[in-house]
Structure 1
Amino acid sequence: MSQFVILGLATLPLYGSYLIFLLFYKQYTSSFRDLPGPPATSWLKGNFPEMQESENAIFYKKWIDEYGPTMRFKVFFNMSRLYTADTKALNHILHNEYIYHKPKMMQWSLGRFTGPGLFYVQDDKHKAQRKIVSPAFSPGQLRGFSEIFFEKAIELRDIWASQIEEERNMAQVDGLAWLNKMTLDVIGRTGFHYDFHALSPEGDANELNKAFSNGIHAATRLSMWLIIQSVLPITRCLPSSGWAQLRTAKSTMDRIGRELLRESKLIAAGKTENRRSKDLLSLLVRSNVDTSIPYGQRMSDEDVLAQVPTFVFAGHDTISSATAWSLYALSLHKSVQNKLRKELLCVPTDHPSLEDLNSLPYLDAVVRENLRFHSPAPETARVAVKDDILPLSTPITDKNGVVRHEIHIKKGQHILLAISGVNLSKELWGEDAMQFKPERWESKLPEAITAIPGVWGNMMTFLGGPHGCIGYRFAVLEMKVLLFTLVRAFEIDLAVPKESIISRTSIVQRPHIIDKIEAGGQLPLLISHVDCTK
């Protein structure tokens, strides 16, 4: 054993030298070297300090104007990466899932929380899982889910109303925290007929609630050691920040998840009361045993269980953050808030039908504009697993004066896909692209946006192609229900100066208070009852 340890230690310098050589070789032979892009501010950190300070907004607020929609930028050790908001390039990447994968860091770090769910798997396994999961998100299922959306939205409304009564006419609430609780309750009920009681006083003591909250926090916490572990699998046997917290959370989630899965199997077999036959997990189990699915393509119990935290993350954190940004935008644009409320108050009930809700044009415009302007995920990344040629709709001129209509991509090269860069592009949306303006959806939209390869609304918010968001209809409907319920009931204002609210992204973009970043996402709002006499 001692000889083995000595041998291992002796090879470490050799292995380190190999990695350094590989690093420099890849940089020297990179096909991105001669592309236009910002100069690195340091050899060690590249452009990362500028990107971190601006939350990557520097790409679409400054650099696209200087270097065009496709550019080279630098990361650690001056390594080149590609950023693109070119619609032809994005369409090619998103529809070639066997060439472009999620990077190991993204896949591994989130996979520690979700397991082998839709966020994690690639290629044929992803295609098979998506086929089985898809029926659970069909438009027909949303009708039943909308009942739960309204129930929980009204519960949140009543909690806020009681706080106003206690404070006499006006109350301050953390909009993001309350929306997190509401959407967690919704995904628990719709996902697997489980009540987190997050909106109730006893919610913080709920075992699964605590496990999910701790697990998401631990899995999405970025650190240098996490980056090293994602790149070097040999280091994953060593603990990382939040490792014990994540392990405890996973243990709780697996134990409760297996009990929920057992119940779903009994329901699918007709051996127990059909009380939760329409939640996502039960629908998924039924779809998994459908005779049209070949036995070899069905999901294992581990695969099915992995969808539970996947549903929670996708249907909870992203929707609450997107809705929080909607309330933020409405607090800054009072004319939009008033116009929306006027439309909503014309509906004679607190609980309209799905058809009536979807027939409200300005509500639809506000939701669309918010998802364009405040995309929950401003960027995502891909890595080439094969050599490829990336076509461009906008040619670029490299440093040697050569006009390129395509870029040669080498295996292992990383590309940042510009979600917000496309959604806020002046070339695509017009000169007012950087303005929050729901009225744009009431008139004819620019022809250029039809080239955007998104699954919904001619925007990149829910991505596109085989990895496009499977639950986008679920997200849009829940946002509509929340805005319908809250804007009808309350005047909404920011409780702090607008300059105090900044964005910070850890997979999902959340509002933070500038001098309280360490406290996590927050959105302090002042709410008061709507004066119907005005």
Structure 2
Amino acid sequence: MLTVLIPFFFVWAYWRLYLRRRLLRTALDVVPGPPGQSWLSGSLDQVISREAWGFHRYIAATYGPVVRIKGFLGANNLYVYDPCALYHILVKDQYTYEENESFIEGNRLLFGPGIFTTLGEEHRKHRKMLTPVFSISHMREMAPIFYAVSYKLRNTFQKKVQHGPEEIDISCWTARLALELIGQSGLGYTFDDLDEASIPHPYALASKQLTTAGEQTSFQRFILMPLLMRLGTPRFRKFLVDNAPSKMVKDLKAIVETLHNTSVELFESKQHALQAGNEALADQIGRGKDIISILMKANMKAADEDKLLDAELLGQINSLTFAATDTTSGALARVLHLLAQYKDVQDKLRHEIRQARKENGDEDIPYDALVSLPYLDAICRETLRLYPPVSQLLRTVRRDIILPFSTPISSENGQELNQLHVPKGTEIFVSILASNTNPAFWGLDCYEWKPERWLNPLPQALLDAHVPGVYSHLLTFLGGGRSCIGFKFSQLEMKVVLALLLEKFEFSLSEKPIIWMMSGISTPHVDRESKVPTLPMIVSLAT
């Protein structure tokens, strides 16, 4: 059935995206940009390549903060990091510039109706229910859970290096750690005791396989599946997926079923505990202070118009888990890799951490003191500036609209443009990476990793630009109604883990070269063909 539908899809796409746009010129034709590499995919292969770092830097330096990118079948897309344009895209007109349909429908198939798979009023309702869970007061209650989980990893590393330095795959362990951190603090559930002899939980295996499977099935997931979602009844669509002539689709379906079944088990356990009262919740992992427990309690008390359905509560479980796992894991691995390259920075940070613990009577550094450690904070900020885990996001224009700019751009016919008419259906690449490394704001050393820049006043040009990010004039966690709701959660996780590991261990480079791939989420590899993230480093006891 699916094989029969594919030719019809291409005929439809060819008319809609190629012939129609060839016949009707748009204002985007005059925006400067690189020529398309192919008639089918334009420059998309270059923009989303696993090794796209050089291309992103090239187009930002060559064409400026608003660039035309040729897309699928010759369509005009935009690549944007102009701060005024970003403010309109992410904040002022955010409901005109929404996640594209392929992203929403593709992720809905994987995770269900959660905060990352909804739009408009439905998304606002989800965010309204979740926002209180990520308050500062709740983060203070999360800190002991983060410490308890992180000590497990520290103890494992202690055993591995007690007789001398050891090569350890840091990426493997940060991935396991990040999942257990969100498991206990977010879901009140344990996936991993972080011991070397542990048997992987089925959910952990499935989540690890999902990123690779998702990349391999990107056409089916983001192009074909949204088309099929418009066909017939849910039962008919399930029949099509069950009978898809693709092993990759079948593998992805098996992964999704594992994730769903674990989520249902967890959700039903929470429901029973809530019905039994606070004592039953306190007996669970997370002691009733985990995100899902608090969310479910708040949902029970909410007005009818604000309540989330059970399916929507269930959808938050996988949505939050995946949002918090790979990004945090990648950011932690990146910090440790950088500290291994800059030993003077590592030594200075270790001294700050040890001094803070000493001042607290050799107890764990409390929340307020930990988040205020200046050098630790500077290192986290600088890493998230220069190496954001997600380099870019895609938005689709839902109606014709005028997009203004901070600085005029020169069109291909020599005119200066202060704004641009953007047609409905235009895809816009929001470049987190280019915004975070804009030399006009960050200076000529914008591509250098310099934590010290955060210990001095920030450039006035940056302050005046009003980059619409929720974090430190950066776009790392976005801005507006679709900004990362858990960015404070993520920062606290990173600081707790780094404080415990660096206090005890020294991290050094191994002899194996490391290549960081851009992909959807930046990951380290020992060779260009590798699909599984790997970051071998030498770990030893710190003196």
- The one of 327, 332, 336 equivalent to 2:341 is 332
The question of whether the paired residues in 1 share the 8 Å contact of 2:515 and 2:527 is answered with yes
The 1:525/1:401 distance shift into structure 2, 3 A limit, reads same
Aligned-residue offset at 1:494: 1.7
2:110 counterpart of 1:113: yes
- Residue 27 of structure 2: SS of its match in structure 1? coil
Partner of 2:129: 132
Aligned-residue offset at 1:140: 1.1
1:177-326 alignment, distance < 5 Å: 177-197=172-192, 199-201=194-196, 203-230=198-225, 232-233=227-228, 237-238=240-241, 239=244, 240=246, 242-269=248-275, 271=277, 273-275=280-282, 276-290=287-301, 293-326=302-335
- Residue 116 of structure 2: SS of its match in structure 1? coil
Aligned-residue offset at 1:42: 2.9
- Provide the C-alpha distance between the structure 1 equivalents of 2:36 and 2:173, rounded to a whole number of angstroms: 41
2:493 counterpart of 1:481: no
The question of whether the paired residues in 1 share the 8 Å contact of 2:503 and 2:542 is answered with yes
2:462 counterpart of 1:453: no
Partner of 2:423: 410
- Residue 72 of structure 1: SS of its match in structure 2? strand
Q: Deviations over 1:175-228 (max 9, x none)?
A: 111011111111111122111125134643423323333345434545434443
The 1:53/1:130 distance shift into structure 2, 3 A limit, reads closer
- Provide the C-alpha distance between the structure 1 equivalents of 2:211 and 2:44, rounded to a whole number of angstroms: 24
- Provide the C-alpha distance between the structure 2 equivalents of 1:436 and 1:213, rounded to a whole number of angstroms: 30
The 1:142/1:400 distance shift into structure 2, 3 A limit, reads same
2:371 counterpart of 1:393: no
2:13 counterpart of 1:19: yes
User: Residue type matched to 1:149 in 2?
Assistant: F
Aligned-residue offset at 1:350: 5.7
- Residue 430 of structure 2: SS of its match in structure 1? strand
The question of whether the paired residues in 1 share the 8 Å contact of 2:46 and 2:55 is answered with no
The question of whether the paired residues in 2 share the 8 Å contact of 1:153 and 1:485 is answered with yes
Unaligned runs of 5+ residues in structure 2 are: 232-236
- Residue 471 of structure 2: SS of its match in structure 1? coil
Aligned-residue offset at 1:321: 0.5
The question of whether the paired residues in 2 share the 8 Å contact of 1:113 and 1:219 is answered with no
The question of whether the paired residues in 1 share the 8 Å contact of 2:507 and 2:539 is answered with yes
2:142 counterpart of 1:145: yes
Moved more, 18-27 or 68-77: 18-27
- Residue 232 of structure 1: SS of its match in structure 2? helix
User: Residue type matched to 1:409 in 2?
Assistant: V
2:171 counterpart of 1:176: yes
The question of whether the paired residues in 2 share the 8 Å contact of 1:40 and 1:73 is answered with yes
Partner of 2:27: 31
1:430-445 alignment, distance < 5 Å: 430-445=443-458
- Residue 28 of structure 2: SS of its match in structure 1? coil
The question of whether the paired residues in 1 share the 8 Å contact of 2:50 and 2:519 is answered with no
The question of whether the paired residues in 2 share the 8 Å contact of 1:185 and 1:197 is answered with yes
- Aligned-residue identity in percent: 31
- Provide the C-alpha distance between the structure 1 equivalents of 2:27 and 2:54, rounded to a whole number of angstroms: 23
- Residue 518 of structure 1: SS of its match in structure 2? coil
Unaligned runs of 5+ residues in structure 1 are: none
Aligned-residue offset at 1:14: 7.6
- The one of 507, 514, 517 equivalent to 1:492 is 507
- The one of 75, 90, 98 equivalent to 2:71 is 75
Aligned-residue offset at 1:159: 1.1
- Provide the C-alpha distance between the structure 2 equivalents of 1:399 and 1:232, rounded to a whole number of angstroms: 36
Aligned-residue offset at 1:54: 6.8
The 1:150/1:14 distance shift into structure 2, 3 A limit, reads closer
TM-score normalised to structure 1 length: 0.91
Moved more, 116-125 or 269-278: 269-278
- Residue 94 of structure 2: SS of its match in structure 1? coil
Partner of 2:234: none
Aligned-residue offset at 1:259: 3.3
The 1:502/1:108 distance shift into structure 2, 3 A limit, reads farther
Partner of 1:45: 41
The question of whether the paired residues in 2 share the 8 Å contact of 1:36 and 1:72 is answered with yes
- Provide the C-alpha distance between the structure 1 equivalents of 2:110 and 2:519, rounded to a whole number of angstroms: 14
The question of whether the paired residues in 2 share the 8 Å contact of 1:377 and 1:509 is answered with yes
The 1:220/1:469 distance shift into structure 2, 3 A limit, reads farther
The question of whether the paired residues in 1 share the 8 Å contact of 2:103 and 2:222 is answered with no
The 1:400/1:316 distance shift into structure 2, 3 A limit, reads same
Aligned-residue offset at 1:521: 1.0
Aligned-residue offset at 1:297: 2.8
The question of whether the paired residues in 1 share the 8 Å contact of 2:378 and 2:455 is answered with yes
Aligned-residue offset at 1:231: 5.4
Aligned-residue offset at 1:307: 0.5
CA RMSD of aligned residues (A): 2.4
2:96 counterpart of 1:99: yes
- Provide the C-alpha distance between the structure 2 equivalents of 1:510 and 1:76, rounded to a whole number of angstroms: 26
TM-score normalised to structure 2 length: 0.89
- Aligned residues between the structures: 517
- Provide the C-alpha distance between the structure 2 equivalents of 1:323 and 1:260, rounded to a whole number of angstroms: 27
The question of whether the paired residues in 2 share the 8 Å contact of 1:490 and 1:529 is answered with yes
Aligned-residue offset at 1:230: 4.5
- Residue 36 of structure 2: SS of its match in structure 1? coil
Aligned-residue offset at 1:79: 2.5
The question of whether the paired residues in 1 share the 8 Å contact of 2:52 and 2:518 is answered with no
- Residue 32 of structure 1: SS of its match in structure 2? helix
Aligned-residue offset at 1:89: 0.5
The 1:479/1:205 distance shift into structure 2, 3 A limit, reads closer
Partner of 2:533: 521
- Provide the C-alpha distance between the structure 1 equivalents of 2:276 and 2:201, rounded to a whole number of angstroms: 30
- Provide the C-alpha distance between the structure 1 equivalents of 2:38 and 2:259, rounded to a whole number of angstroms: 43
Partner of 1:159: 156
2:368 counterpart of 1:361: no
- Residue 382 of structure 2: SS of its match in structure 1? helix
Moved more, 433-442 or 108-117: 108-117
The 1:24/1:153 distance shift into structure 2, 3 A limit, reads same
Partner of 2:440: 427
- Provide the C-alpha distance between the structure 1 equivalents of 2:471 and 2:172, rounded to a whole number of angstroms: 27
2:542 counterpart of 1:530: yes
